[in-house]
Amino acid sequence: MKIVKTITEMQELVQSYKQDGKSVGFVPTMGYLHEGHLSLMNKARSENDILVVSIFVNPLQFGPNEDFDRYPRDFDRDEALAKNASVDIIFYPDVKEMYPKEMAMTIHVQQGIDVLCGRSRPGHFDGVATVVLKLFNIVMPTNVYFGMKDAQQVAVITQLIENFNLPINLVPCDTLREEDGLAKSSRNVYLSSEERKQASAIYQSLQKSIERIKTGERNPLVIREFITSYLTDYTDGMIDYAEILSYPELKEIEHLNGNIIIAIALKFEKARLIDNVTLTVES
Ligand code: AMP
């Protein structure tokens, strides 16, 4: 496994693989790897000749009062996990390498960001789309793997690829969970033991919402009300959002029908957790 820290070396390596007709699978991450990341890597490993993983905590996608400085980092641990997952290259640039000077332009996402994390984190998806476009130009992947845990990110990157005609295939991947249903996340380490116990209520409320829909509920407001009371009853967290939207359009709906997403963001003292489920509803 190679650790590549410069853009030039990464581009040269990938170009030589491409010349040899090899496919390149790419998993962009912010590191502090967990089994969710590893599930993306395993899928990418089985579908490509070369597997590249990037580890970069991108300052552009963090707001001024967010957790950029204290985002968990442990490269030695990540390196061992990646090696074990048969990764060929870790692209591990520092901030100076990615942003040697102030950007003269960035990507501005203008659709699908008036909801969910786009609404709670102004500018977040501009930062995500900008760094992902840079990473795509550096790694030049054949296939790129993103987790549905960040469903709005999948929707934004799908549009990025389509709008800018990037010759890249995006593979959305299922969310990996702890035994009690909590979605694996690098930020789970911030939870106190009491919060960690309460956090399973997020997925429980999503599962119970699905049950309600299966037994005939079609009013999104009723589902939202249910989630709000459930999380209020079973956690001390603050609800940032609980939304039911069409997916992947992310439009508000009055009646549940077709492909939908139920998404939650819950703020605990030091960690803001997100989770969602997507499903198809028969009218
Ligand atoms: P992050 O390091 O949080 O930026 O995540 C890197 C990639 O891993 C993103 O595509 C995430 O959606 C994905 N990911 C994060 N958590 C999970 C999970 N629990 N299951 C599957 N994929 C995940």
Q: What is the pLDDT along the chain (283 residues), one digit of tens a residue?
A: 999 999 999 999 999 999 999 999 999 999 999 999 999 999 999 999 999 999 999 999 999 999 999 999 999 999 999 999 999 999 999 999 999 999 999 999 999 999 999 999 999 999 999 999 999 999 999 999 999 999 999 999 999 999 999 999 999 999 999 999 999 999 999 999 999 999 999 999 999 999 999 999 999 999 999 999 999 999 999 999 999 999 999 999 999 999 999 999 999 999 999 999 999 999 7
The residue to mutate among 26, 27, 29, having the most atoms of ligand 1 within 8 angstroms of its beta carbon, is 29
Query: Is the CB of residue 173 below 6 angstroms from any atom belonging to ligand 1?
Result: yes
**pLDDT value at residue 170:** 98
**pLDDT value at residue 281:** 98
* Domain range summary for the chain, segments of one domain joined by +: 2-173, 186-281
The residue to mutate among 32, 35, 37, having the most atoms of ligand 1 within 8 angstroms of its beta carbon, is 37
Find the 163 Cα to ligand 1 centroid distance in Å: 23
Q: Could you write out the three-class secondary structure of the chain?
A: CEEECCHHHHHHHHHHHHHCCCCEEEEEECCCCCHHHHHHHHHHHHHCCEEEEEECCCHHHCCCCCCCCCCCCCHHHHHHHHHHCCCCEEECCCHHHHCCCCCCCCCCCCCCCCCHHHHHCCCHHHHHHHHHHHHHHHHCCCEEEEEHHHHHHHHHHHHHHHHCCCCCEEEEECCCECCCCCECCHHHHHCCHHHHHHCHHHHHHHHHHHHHHHCCCCCHHHHHHHHHHHHHHHCCCEEEEEEEEECCCCCECCCCCEEEEEEEEEECCCCEEEEEEEEEECC
**pLDDT value at residue 20:** 98
**pLDDT value at residue 283:** 79
Query: Is the CB of residue 146 below 6 angstroms from any atom belonging to ligand 1?
Result: yes
Query: Is the CB of residue 29 below 6 angstroms from any atom belonging to ligand 1?
Result: yes
**pLDDT value at residue 28:** 98
Which CATH architecture best describes the domain 2-173?
Answer: 3-Layer(aba) Sandwich (3.40)
The yes-or-no answer on residue 124 being catalytic is: no
Which CATH code is given to the segment(s) 186-281?
3.30.1300.10
